[in-house]
Structure 1
């Protein structure tokens, strides 16, 4: 055990004023090994139970317990080091679980604190992944269903020697098929790939290429084609002279003066006719939409 004052025997005048009498200094707490922490933790819990809650000694004793048992957090966090998350973040959320365990631990039950605390620490880390790892936010109900579907899928795939259908998954999990389908769709929101990521190769596109190159996009000529189809019945309803004016103006791209000469009208008359015809067509298009 490191050379530190005993939790129960340290003289009050040997400790800083901010450290309650009988407790180790902060530097001593951080130097305690995991084995020493297992021996000192029960002693500190006894002291914690005897102190008035909210007092300075109670708060300091609680802090000592947290500092001494941080090795439990690091131990639990290492189990998730394969995940795409920073170790410091996992230690922070795991420490929250450690504090919860300290506040809820009852030494009288005869359970070792480490065995009691680890599920709290691991639970907080798992909750951290559940709440932050999804690329698209989905309800917690579906996040939890994803785990059940994954386990059921592995079990049924082993038994059936093929991928199970949604109906078989629903029967296995005793759920409605619609709920299983919803969960399967939600699984797609767990991770997301960059549009610049290379796509999987297939026979049609052996060179692969970026995902973005295979995504559909809106054809700029689509709206024009739709407008043409919508205009056809409106154009058929126009008088012959009105259709000819439109053809000369937009088909032959003639000026109003040239149209007036071709039809024996004045330029002012052509301008008024074009304004009336276009307003009529515009109103008809709006009614169609």
Structure 2
């Protein structure tokens, strides 16, 4: 049996579910696009090719193998995008929570059932249907659970709004001893540069006391200020609108001092090295065209 253990974003990783780009299916139609960035590339004819995405994911797999991380992959579903495992579930402490994702993505959960079968069934749960919550919006930090949400009255009109306030309330109920802090995120159906699809599109902690942040990803200045107060401005790497578009905050930590990052993120990678991080640089720019990057395509199960 797998003994799940996730208490933060940066402790030494031992086991992870890495998505797959094999048998990814044809380029979606404009009507099928889930997010404005995919839409942009579908229209431009630059949507990523399966062969390139497989190569990028293999590179990430190789980094995990280098650090002796146990890697699980989803079972292959024909013509199905299974890259972004972070969307379909997440672990808090020793509990696996299945996400209520978009109905057409339900098959992706079935593809990891063989993993869930190795977890104590009392430690696998699924929120009621009205509760929306996705792993990209959930981050553990010390006594906190950070949750990205969207508080606009037009929530139901936004396919980019993935975690609702009912989802925040659900986590408060499940983990009453944790401090739950929600963040109201900026959303756009048409401009990827103004769309924080998940919290990890505009913020992520790294190391013991640092973070990557995009100030204008938050609808409320007070939410941004909360993080500045908590981490200290000097410990936060502020990214630009264009860097947010390229997913600079969506790196992935293997340990408190080891970060996997996109090789083109020069400014960020230099900052990380200046702060004594080991940076494992890989190419992930094709996958980024779907408004997801390294954190989005991983679902950590066990950290020390």
> Is this a same-fold pair by TM over 0.5?
no
Which structure features the higher share of helix residues?
1
Which structure features the higher share of strand residues?
2
Tell me the TM-score normalized by structure 2. 0.18
Return the index of the structure with the highest Cα Rg: 1
Looking at both structures, which has the greater relative contact order when contacts are Cα pairs under 8 Å and sequence separation is at least 6? 2
Tell me the TM-score normalized by structure 1. 0.18
